[in-house]
Amino acid sequence: MTRSLQAVAYRQPSVLESAVDGQRLGLETSRGATPSGVRDHPQFFAGFLTSPQVAAAGLLAVADVAATRYYQRQLPASLDPVVTGNGDRLRFESFSGCGGVYARLDVLAPGLDGGEVGHGTTNVDVNNPLRDALSRIGSADPLHMRVGPDELSVTTVDGPVVERKVPLPDRWLRGFAEAQVIAAGFDLRAELPAAEAVRFLRSLPRATSRGASAGARWVVPAGQGLRPTTRAVPGAVCLPGPERLVALQRVLRHATALRVYGPAVTGAAPTAAAWEAVLPGMRLTLTLSPDASRGFSGEGGVLDALATDEAAEDAELISVLLAWEPRIDVADLATASGLTAERVRAALVRLGTSGRVGYDVAEAAYFHRELPYDAERVGQHNPRLRSARALVAAGAVALEGAVATVTAEDGHVHRVRDRAGELSCSCLWWAKYRGGRGPCKHALAVRMVRRGAAVDAVDAVEQMAANVGGGER
């Protein structure tokens, strides 16, 4: 696994302090993107929270995920959550150290009081002393929250005084991209009232010292609740490693409902799913990978979008039109850009590979954010994409109608078949996953070559038309 060190600097540690008008929570920000460019310590909000205890519990849940490895639990994990100001809400996001759990707390407009929400994305410091303090917040305690430095710290502190370097694996960054691509295919499958949500979540097994359990479990709606089933029947939702929902326990007594999202069941293979706790003025969502030992980074959902020059050009155009919207409207972007809705969606997938958009299952819409990491390397370091480009550069792909042959580096010849736009391959990767984790490198190389051939054909026709037009003139 490729890892690098990410420098994260704060002016001072985040703290919770007592004041005359209640408690004051100061969340310190690091270097991040804003509409006016990159800033060292942007401020996104300064005001009161309408449900302080609920917000504290939700923030702790996101921090729990950032500090946990649900698979191979003995290995350490410590990644600062990401905060995004979207103008009308604050989003706190994190990924588990193992890359298999994505958490997001959306503090919506009804959860914020008395302050404007800015625009931008950065890291936020949630240290151990702060976690202890947040866990003691009472239901009646007024809580003023500041996300970013106040005027005093800006004028009296010269440069960052808290700096640390954290290991940042490429698979963690790729997970941000894959999770939003997968979530875009989810639909609401069940909604449980508060009492049923508590009963169901408390019935789930707890993690052992070895980590989350292996193997797929399934649940289906039954009345107002969920019941387990041994098979992937229509309407079922996959629940692999149910211990990974433990972070929801933080907010369970505040939840008014539990919503479950997942893809349509088309086979017995395990799938990802999202579990959303509906809270007063906010939402906490956990998205689980299809297996406890399987992070989102290898799902392959972004490979097709990464493999096309067209998507790269479209993404460049679409990125100019983004304005930190909390809800990106594909139809509006299509109108503004002159692209089809399909090309806009492909461009959004491409932007997701660099952390520039996420997906909100509750609103079935993308949202704009800019991860505070060098996420461009995600596409460059994707091994299947890199191998496919090498095959194309080596001239290893031969097109023969609906069937293409690819000569691998070791001399083996693989056949890639096209059935109504779906590519299958004779390689071991395809035999193992049957397309469930995206295209293999051979199918990806064939798609690249076919797209290149199609572009060449269009260019040839346009050149012929230009020549004919020139002769008539």
- The whole-number average pLDDT for the span 40-69 is 94
Confidence of residue 312 (pLDDT cuts 50, 70, 90): confident
- How many domains does the chain contain in total? 3
Predicted pLDDT of residue 470: 42
Start-to-end CA span in the chain (Å) = 61
- Distance between CA atoms of residues 276 and 61, nearest Å: 12
Confidence of residue 310 (pLDDT cuts 50, 70, 90): confident
| Interval 252-291: pLDDT, tens | 999 999 999 999 988 788 889 999 999 999 999 999 998 8
Asked if residue 459 is part of any domain, the answer here is yes
Beta bridge partners of 190: 260
- Of the three residues 139, 154, 169, the one that is the final residue of a domain is 154
The CATH number of the domain holding residue 33 is: 3.10.150
Residues 40 and 106 in one domain: yes
Confidence of residue 313 (pLDDT cuts 50, 70, 90): confident
Share of the chain above pLDDT 70, in %: 83
Residues 143 and 188 in one domain: no
Residues 149 and 113 in one domain: yes
- Name which of 328-332, 343-347, 390-394, 468-472 the model is least confident about: 468-472
Residues 6+ apart with CB under 8 A from 365: 327, 328, 329, 359
Both tokens of 315, joined, read 């993404």
| Interval 218-255: pLDDT, tens | 999 999 999 998 888 989 999 988 999 999 999 999 99
- Is 39 a residue whose pLDDT tops 60? yes
- Of the three residues 240, 268, 298, the one that is the final residue of a domain is 298
Check if the beta carbon of residue 260 is closer than 8 Å to that of residue 204: no
Sign for the pseudo-dihedral over CA of 18, 21, 23, 25: negative
Asked if residue 162 is part of any domain, the answer here is no
Residues 128 and 32 in one domain: yes
- The whole-number average pLDDT for the span 384-412 is 89
- Of the three residues 137, 154, 171, the one that is the final residue of a domain is 154
Asked if residue 168 is part of any domain, the answer here is no
- Distance between CA atoms of residues 117 and 88, nearest Å: 6
Tell me what the pLDDT averaged over the chain comes to.
84
**Structural domain span for residue 143:** 7-154
Predicted pLDDT of residue 299: 53
Torsion of CA 309, 310, 314, 319, to 10 degrees: -20
Asked if residue 54 is part of any domain, the answer here is yes
Check if the beta carbon of residue 9 is closer than 8 Å to that of residue 31: yes
- Distance between CA atoms of residues 97 and 105, nearest Å: 18
Mark out the alpha helices in 83-189 (DSSP H runs): 128-134, 151-156, 170-183
- Is 461 a residue whose pLDDT tops 50? no
Which residue from 46, 437, 101 is spatially nearest to 275, judged by alpha carbons?
A: 101
Predicted pLDDT of residue 462: 39
Residues 71 and 141 in one domain: yes
Predicted pLDDT of residue 50: 94
- Is 93 a residue whose pLDDT tops 50? yes
Indicate whether this model's pTM tops 0.75. yes
- Distance between CA atoms of residues 351 and 362, nearest Å: 21
| Interval 116-143: pLDDT, tens | 999 999 999 999 999 999 999 987 778 9
Asked if residue 304 is part of any domain, the answer here is no
